[in-house]
Amino acid sequence: MANAVARGRGFNGRLLGRSLSTAAGALNPTARNLYGYLFSLPLIVLFLAFVVYPLYFEATQAFDRYTYEVLFSDPIYVQTVVNTIVYVGIAVNTKLFLALLLSGVLQADTRGVRFLSAIFLLPWAIPVLPGILSIRWMLSSQWGIMNLIMEDLGFGSVHWLASRWMAIGALIVFHIWKYLPFWTVIFLAGRRGIPRELYEATAIDGAGGLQNFRYVTFPMLKGLYLICTLLSMVFTLGDFTNVWLLTGGAPGDSTHVLATLAYRYTFLMGKIDWGVGVFATALPVTLLFIFILIKKIK
């Protein structure tokens, strides 16, 4: 409706504007620049103070060799880098692949699907804490529901969060549970944007579901899929909350990711330069990803 209003006014505006040509554009460029910067001033101040300065602070730390000697010789740091790569690599890619498939299922417009698409959004809508805390209790080895299920199915109980890879596995599963809905909706929107004529054309050639996917859907969604992958990887690279509240780095600091390790160094051990160093080592890759993304999105 708002769009219709805007369009209606636009019509009037055009009538008025035509006779008197581009009077507003007549404002000289210097004045326009002045006003442009004036209106963006709050944004620029926030950016300089809280994005540029922190990055500068971290980058200057990057020249302190001693910090790196400490980090690279700390086995927990090395483990953390491995954990982060595994977590980001597996969680993001599994999630996006499932989202791509699922968006195909949800594209059908039946009653069941409509019902599902509504409840399917819940994990995304719920803040991260209730979700992760609920899962943490579910995985409690003594009192959790998962072990009740395991026992009822005839398996023994499992110490879910007591070993490094089981805990990281749980983290990956939670990540998929929480963020799959969002990306599915994104791909669903992408699929809806594909012109129907393309499918009609392949139908004439006798293409089935799989061929449709291979020759129409995937090529059309490839760009979006790549952007989503990069974006989700960068976001997940900085994950703190999920890891901190599910494992807290336990058992024995073996399940840290970058952000939780930096937190541990800085706030639990009082070594701020180590904490900053953790992020500084991840900056080159992160910035590279970000610049590729900005180029692709703009």
Partner 1 sequence: MKTATADRPRRLLIEVVRGVLLALITVWTLFPIYYMLVLSFTPTAELFRPEYWVKNPTLESYRFIALQGSVFVKFFWRWMANSVLVAALTMLAVLVVASLGSFALGRIRFGGARFISGMTLFTYIIPASFLSIPFFKIMGDYDLLDTYWALILAMTTFASPYALWVLWDYAKTIPPEIDESAAIDGAGYFTIFWRIYLPLVLPTLIAIGTYAFFFAWNEYLYAVLFLQSEQMFTLPISMGTFLTGDEAPWNLLMAVSTIYAIPPVIFYYVFRRYLTHGLVSGAVQGT
> Which residues inside 109-148 make contact with partner 1, applying CB under 8 A?
112-113, 116, 118-131, 133-135, 137-138, 142-145, 147-148
Q: Is 67 in the site for partner 1 (CB under 8 A)?
A: no
Q: From the CB of 206, what's the least distance to partner 1, in Å?
A: 8
Question: Total number of residues binding partner 1 (CB under 8 A)?
Answer: 117
How far, in Å, CA of 146 to CA of 288, rounded? Answer: 41
Q: Is 222 in the site for partner 1 (CB under 8 A)?
A: no
Question: Could you tell me if 50 and 268 are in contact, meaning their C-beta atoms sit under 8 angstroms apart?
Answer: no
Q: From the CB of 47, what's the least distance to partner 1, in Å?
A: 5
Q: Report CA dihedral (172, 177, 180, 182) to the nearest 10 degrees.
A: -120
Q: Is 182 in the site for partner 1 (CB under 8 A)?
A: yes
Question: Could you tell me if 262 and 275 are in contact, meaning their C-beta atoms sit under 8 angstroms apart?
Answer: yes
Q: Which stretch binds partner 1 (CB under 8 A): 43-51, 64-72, 78-86, 215-223?
A: 43-51
Q: Is 249 in the site for partner 1 (CB under 8 A)?
A: no
Which positions from 258 through 277 interact with partner 1, judged by CB under 8 A? 258-259, 262-263, 266-267, 272, 275-276
- What single letter denotes the amino acid at residue 121? L
Which positions from 190 through 219 interact with partner 1, judged by CB under 8 A? 190, 193
Which positions from 3 through 32 interact with partner 1, judged by CB under 8 A? 3, 5-7, 9-10, 13-14, 16-18, 20, 22-25, 27, 29, 32
Q: Is 282 in the site for partner 1 (CB under 8 A)?
A: yes
Q: Which of 80, 217, 236, 255 contacts partner 1 by CB under 8 A? A: 236
Q: Is 150 in the site for partner 1 (CB under 8 A)?
A: no
Nearest residue to 54 (alpha-carbon basis) of 227, 178, 238: 238
Q: From the CB of 80, what's the least distance to partner 1, in Å?
A: 14
- What single letter denotes the amino acid at residue 16? L
Q: Which of 168, 186, 221, 261 contacts partner 1 by CB under 8 A? A: 186
- Is the Cβ of residue 43 or residue 210 nearer to partner 1 in the bound state? 43
Q: Is 54 in the site for partner 1 (CB under 8 A)?
A: yes
Which positions from 162 through 181 interact with partner 1, judged by CB under 8 A? 175, 177-179, 181
Q: What's the alpha-carbon Rg for the chain, to the nearest Å?
A: 25
- Is the Cβ of residue 26 or residue 73 nearer to partner 1 in the bound state? 26
- Is the Cβ of residue 54 or residue 195 nearer to partner 1 in the bound state? 54
